[in-house]
Structure 1
Amino acid sequence: MRETSHNIAGVSVLPIRHLSELGFESQKVSNTVSFGYVKYISEDECVLGDIVLKESANEKQLKAYVRAGPRAELFFNPKKARVAIVSCGGLCPGMNSIIKNLVTILYQGYGVSKVYGIQGGYRGFTSKDWDEPLELDNDAVEYMHHIGGTVLGTSRGGFDIEKIVSWLQVHHVDQLYVIGGDGTHRGAYKISEECHNRGLRISVAGIPKTIDNDIGLIDRSFGFMTAVSEATRAIAAARVEATCNKPNGIGIVKLMGRSAGFLAAYATLASQDVDLCLVPEIPIVLHGPHGILSHIDHVLEQKGHAVIVVAEGAGEELLGESTQTDAGGNRLLPPIGEFLTKQIKQHFQESNREATVKYIDPSYMVRSVPADASDSYMCMTLAHAAAHGCMAGFTGFTVGLINNRTVMVPIPALAKSSPRSMNANGRTWERVQAITGQPNPTCSPDCTPSPHPPPYK
């Protein structure tokens, strides 16, 4: 193997704010949570953000992140610490696992004095219509991880920073854990800033959550692979419908994916029963040699049936962008699944051919289940990482896996990189096209259409 060299001047670690840097005095308590058999993380440990370098690259600085884990010295006295947990936004597999593991490590591991569970998202801090916060302990969360959704409830909107911080102040909260997406994280950082402005010694940590896997920097979000697994069940049902309805049976499955097609793409790769995958990152062309209708015709000629997966955010170039938004500020998406079903039926009617089209929308089913074993383990590591960070006095950070290592990330850095989209020229989409054999809509008129998919799949 020939030798190569890289000119790397150094490593730049994204700093995490610490309460001591903001003028607050540490209580300097020795950490006993490891019980003598787990090593503490030193302040000079970091995880590289990019482990792949081109031979020709002349990298001046490599970006790295602070490694998460228990520190030898605690900023807070656990016996006096009061904690609040809130979950916001849409549901995702594993939310209850996160809550359970936060309570377990904080209550049982560190021995904090009180853990509040805020009900109904950010609204739970301020709305009189919501129930009072729950007081969580080991008994309250014992079997929580076996249940889908979030026992705390959730909502969109309702962010009132003045009232939220006032609630934290009145209830003498020392640490706030926020489970949510990039919008929720932006709110969490505003809370940490307001706490600092008011002179409140409160540590704020986020735990990123998204069914779309569109939060930047981190490898993946908890619950995503569980959702992929559930989505393949819907695809299997669509395949049964397509194969049993003759002639020309077509099954269409719509999955979540507002601006990123990760869920649709990964479910396609996992099932390997899909003949056409449509995502927001790739424009949809209906007609012509590189159009999806022509591709569906080719598939039916070979196999007699077809299975299609479409992400909810696909096809805005055909349907236009909606100007309406939900309570969280997210644009309401046009009905791509219904539109696609109508276009396919019309295509066969115009050519006097029979076709049976079955449309399946499992969107809310794939996100409302408990986390599978892999995601449940990931939830535990993330919850512990957040608790260790707050106990050590860090604030304004979130946790995640980067290169399969648990790290702390400054919330502004994560928010700036989110939402992310799938690389239309990347390996994931290359693999999708290899499975489906679908055409590339960005081909020039002279390029050769994609080969037909194999007759047996």
Structure 2
Amino acid sequence: MTMDIKDFQIPRLGRAQLDSPLDPSTAFIDDGATVAYDSDAAKLAEYVRKGKTIPAFELAGPRARIYHDPSWCKAAVLTAGGLCPGLNDVIKFLTSTLRGQYKVPIVYGIRYGYRGLNPASKLAPIVLTDENTDDIHEQGGTILGSSRGEEDTGVMVDTLMRMNINLLFCIGGDGTARCAHDIAMEAQRRGLSISVISIPKTIDNDISFIDKSFGFETAVAACSRFASGANNEAKGAYNGIGLVRVMGRDSGFIAAYATLANSYINYCLVPERKFTLEGEGPDALLPNLVERMNRKHHAVMIVAEGAGQELFDKLPEMHDASGNLIHNDIGILLRDKIREHFKKLDIEVNVKYFDTSYAVRSGPCHGADAVFCAMLAQNAVHAAMAGRTDMVIGHWGDHFTHVPIALATRERKKIDLHSQLWTSVRASTCF
């Protein structure tokens, strides 16, 4: 993909002229610090040879000079879209960084996503404090509630003006980020100094120009329990098949990583790879499965929710409140088709089906994922206080970065079937 330096520029509300209230020993980031988009040495050398500026992300972190006066600030936090492990961690660390480090006097929690910015919803915000967010990281879900669906941008900006909000943090996926972009554009049109920062929440890890998003590692780890159960069930019955359905509407990263983390998984089906049920050739699933049953008499299969959608008969399209296409249930289809195929061949088969979706996304995050949430939130606050807006806090090459929303939402990140990741998956599976 050809990139231009302009694609990476972050909007600023104005000059940062105030001294940061953070401890002078803080490792402040120079305003010109960047992280190169390309890590390939040959590509970097080509930019230099041609005299071009290397496309690079702005490096995230605290600045010695800030734009907003903390004592006059009011912040608001909202969560939108589906649930994801780590939402409460991000809420907690946004609150503690705003109130504890920058001494912002008021932090509001907007209830049920963007719906809470529409006064017609009659959803009063709550005031977030160190006390009422102290242990929320131990809970799954979000204490603020979430929702899908569009709200009028002008109405939402009117609400922000009435509440005197000048720092808005929107935690969600690409749809949430697009709405944050619309708010930032409307605020700019009105001449309002509101920093709008999006924090990427997508359990599918499918936001472009961000190498990972929070909740993903927890989701992969949670899948292991189901994969283990599927393996036990498969080996516990003659010609046993453990079939595990995981999240992954358009991108199969959870399925792929779970496969590598649980090496007894024999089949990994993702949206990026098309396959057929019957027929001949390497992409015909059921003949391959029959051959394995004849050899091993058991198999474990993991399938992302968006895989195999082309296998369904033409059905009317349905969309959720955010406009996302609602996929047909590939797990149920595979379960039934496997049983039908083996019955037709007069071969005994015992299929056990596990649907992990809500169990995986609704719990708390843990380990490195929790640390990641904390650092995302802290860097989101640093960016907002420095006057950045219309941006996503990203992560690239072991660094936290600033990514323009327009760049992050340009296209959905998918598994490259020629990548080392997919090569590793294929090497550990039989299909």
TM-score by length of 1: 0.89
Q: CA deviation at 1:131?
A: 3.2
CA contact 1:348–1:354 (8 Å) conserved in 2: yes
Change (3 A) 1:55 1:214: closer
Does residue 286 of structure 1 match 2:280? no
Closer, same or farther: CA 321–188 of 1 in aligned 2, 3 Å:
farther
Residue 46 (structure 1) aligned with residue 34 (structure 2): yes
CA distance in 2 between partners of 1:57 and 1:324 (Å): 48
Aligned to 1:304: 297
Q: CA deviation at 1:127?
A: 5.3
What are the within-5 Å matches in structure 2 for residues 354-369 of structure 1?
Answer: 354-369=348-363
1:184: how far off?
0.9
The answer to whether the 8 A contact 1:205-1:396 is kept is yes
Give the equivalent residue in structure 2 for 1:153: 145
Correspondence for 2:397 = 403
**In 2 relative to 1, CA 321–262 (structure 1 residues): closer, same or farther, beyond 3 Å?**
farther
* 1:169 match: 161
Q: Is 1:221 matched with 2:197?
A: no
Q: Deviations over 1:312-363 (max 9, x none)?
A: 1111221157521110000110111111111110111011111111111011
> How far apart are 1:302 and its partner, in Å?
2.8
1:299 Cα deviation from its structure 2 partner:
2.1
2:322 is matched with which residue? Answer: 328
What SS does the corresponding residue of 1:295 show, helix, strand or coil? Answer: helix
Cα shift at 1:49:
1.2
Check conservation: 1:17, 1:396, Cα contact below 8 A.
yes
Alignment match, 2:311: 318
Residue aligned with 1:409, SS: strand
Could you say what secondary structure the match of 1:92 adopts? coil
Indicate conservation of the 8 Å contact 2:38/2:44, yes or no. Answer: no
After superposition, the C-alpha distances for 1:72-93 in whole angstroms (9 at most, x for unaligned) are: 1121111121000011001111
Alignment of 1:35-434 (within 5 A): 35-54=23-42, 58-59=46-47, 60=50, 61=52, 62-126=54-118, 128-129=120-121, 131-245=123-237, 247-287=238-278, 288-290=280-282, 291-319=284-312, 320=314, 323-416=317-410, 418-434=411-427
- Contact kept in structure 1, 2:157 and 2:183, CA below 8 Å: yes
Q: Equivalents in 1 of 2:44, 2:124: separation in Å?
A: 59
Contact 1:274 1:306 in 2 (8 A): yes
Judge conservation of contact 1:120–1:130 (CA < 8 Å) in 2. Answer: no
Q: Residue type of the partner of 2:424?
A: R
Q: What whole-Å deviation, never above 9, does each CA across 1:245-277 have from its counterpart, x for those lacking one?
A: 2x2011100111111111111111111111111
SS of 1:308's equivalent? strand
Structure 1 residue 419, shift from structure 2 partner = 1.4
Contact 1:88 1:156 in 2 (8 A): yes
Most deviating of 261-270 and 295-304: 295-304
CA contact (8 A) 2:7 2:407 kept: no
SS in 2 for 1:222: coil
C-alpha RMSD of matched pairs (Å): 1.8
Could you give the per-residue CA deviations for residues 187-211 of structure 1, whole angstroms, max 9, x where no partner exists? 1011011111112111110101111
Structure 1 contact 322–334 (Cα < 8 Å) conserved: no
1:158 shift after superposition: 3.4
Corresponding letter in the other structure for 1:30: D
Structure 1: tracts of 5 or more residues without a match: 1-9, 439-457
Code of the aligned partner of 2:250? S
SS across alignment from 1:400: strand
Residue correspondences, number: 421
Unpaired runs of at least 5, structure 2: none
Q: Which moved more, 1:163-172 or 1:297-306?
A: 297-306
Instruction: Provide the rounded CA distance (Å) in 2 between the counterparts of 1:259 and 1:11.
Output: 28
Q: CA 1:116/1:51 → structure 2, altered by over 3 Å: closer, same or farther?
A: same
TM-score (norm 2): 0.94
User: Contact 1:107–1:113 at 8 Å: present in 2 too?
Assistant: yes
